[in-house]
Amino acid sequence: DSGVTQTPKHLITATGQRVTLRCSPRSGDLSVYWYQQSLDQGLQFLIQYYNGEERAKGNILERFSAQQFPDLHSELNLSSLELGDSALYFCASSAPNSPLHFGNGTRLTVT
């Protein structure tokens, strides 16, 4: 168990809808990262937050947004969903200069 908790485990929704994925980092970790994993793209970095502030941005679509709250949990919001957004979404957390530890992901299916 990595100590990173993601909910929900599975999410099925229709095109055009909006969903929110939730992540609780490991105790004490200030950094939270979001990654997308699809069959043909591997693990793609989306965004990183450190202690509530955005720290790095990757290939995140404008339809997607994230935030990190004062209690350090994070949410990833996906809107105007398209079929191509179906993927596994992983959250990871870390301490400075330490490896990332990943949760078990949320599997999003857009129909």
Binding site for other proteins (CB under 8 A): 2, 4, 30-31, 33, 37, 39-40, 42-43, 45, 48, 50, 55-56, 58, 88, 90, 92, 94, 96-97, 99-105, 107
**How many residues does this entry show for the chain?**
111
Q: Which of 60, 57, 64, 71 is nearest to 24 (CA)?
A: 71
CB of 40 to other proteins, least distance (A): 8
Our CB check for other proteins shows the closer of 38 and 79 to be: 38
Residue 96 C-beta: closest distance to other proteins, Å: 5
Q: Which residues lie closer than 8 Å to 17 by C-beta, 6 or more apart?
A: 81, 110
**Encoded tokens for 79:** 């809107």
